[in-house]
């Protein structure tokens, strides 16, 4: 399996022509012995270390001000305008041999990843889930290996400390009101 060749991070991330990101786009749900705020902070730090950029305070503030039981943050990858531009360049450079030069690499598929947690009787329920933009110039699942790396690192760290209660992959997410659901991301961030 060929992994993503990526340069830069966050909104400036560019992707090389040789890539295989896997078929799954999902995130993860974990139950951990920790408080929700610390859990979200650790998840956000892991996602940023994997190559995402901090989404700022807008989402976190909106969730807190809504009176939600959830604590949430968002991180981002790619930029819609850069992705479209690079998608056009990639189209014309594809197969010419020029696409292997970094100048012709396309912008990463625009993605928002939400990390959110709430208190449960067992500890904290953490959800990490990506949302790809339909307005970007490419839909190549670029964030998937980065999300997998961050989630695996979190799972290993919580497991090593004995704080991991359970962990499961999420191939999809219900619009159940959690900040990671598509409806909330669309309503609060206007993300499509």
The crossing angle, in degrees rounded to 10, of helices 36-50 and 144-160 is 130
Is the Cβ–Cβ distance between 126 and 113 less than 8 Å? no
Q: So what's the pLDDT on residue 2?
A: 39
Report the C-alpha gap between 180 and 168 in whole angstroms. Answer: 15
Asked whether the whole model's pTM tops 0.95, one would answer: no
Report the C-alpha gap between 143 and 129 in whole angstroms. Answer: 10
Is the Cβ–Cβ distance between 32 and 124 less than 8 Å? yes
Residue 30 has pLDDT above 90, yes or no: yes
SS (H, E, C) 117-129: EEECCCCEEEEEE
Model confidence pLDDT, tens digit, residues 56-71: 999 999 999 999 999 9
Residue 79 has pLDDT above 80, yes or no: no
Model confidence pLDDT, tens digit, residues 133-192: 877 655 667 788 889 999 999 999 999 999 999 999 998 898 888 999 999 999 998 887
- Token duo for residue 165: 């209660």
Percentage above 70 pLDDT, the chain: 70
């Amino acid at each position: 399996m060929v992994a993503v060749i990526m340069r830069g991070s966050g909104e400036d991330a560019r992707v090389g022509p040789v890539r295989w990101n896997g078929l799954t786009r999902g995130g993860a749900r974990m139950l951990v012995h920790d408080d929700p705020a610390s859990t979200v902070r650790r998840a956000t730090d892991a996602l940023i270390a994997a190559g995402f950029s901090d989404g700022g305070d807008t989402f976190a503030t909106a969730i807190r001000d809504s009176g939600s039981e959830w604590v949430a943050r968002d991180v981002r990858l790619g930029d819609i305008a850069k992705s479209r531009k690079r998608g056009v360049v990639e189209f014309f450079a594809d197969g010419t041999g020029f696409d292997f030069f970094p100048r012709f690499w396309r912008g990463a598929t625009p993605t928002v990843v939400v990390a959110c947690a709430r208190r449960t009787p067992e500890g904290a329920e953490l959800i990490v889930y990506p949302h790809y933009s339909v307005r970007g110039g490419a839909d190549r699942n670029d964030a998937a290996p980065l999300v997998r790396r961050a989630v695996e690192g979190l799972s290993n760290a919580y497991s090593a400390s004995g704080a991991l209660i359970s962990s499961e992959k999420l191939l999809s997410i219900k619009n159940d009101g959690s900040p990671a659901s598509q409806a909330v991301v669309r309503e609060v961030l206007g993300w499509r």
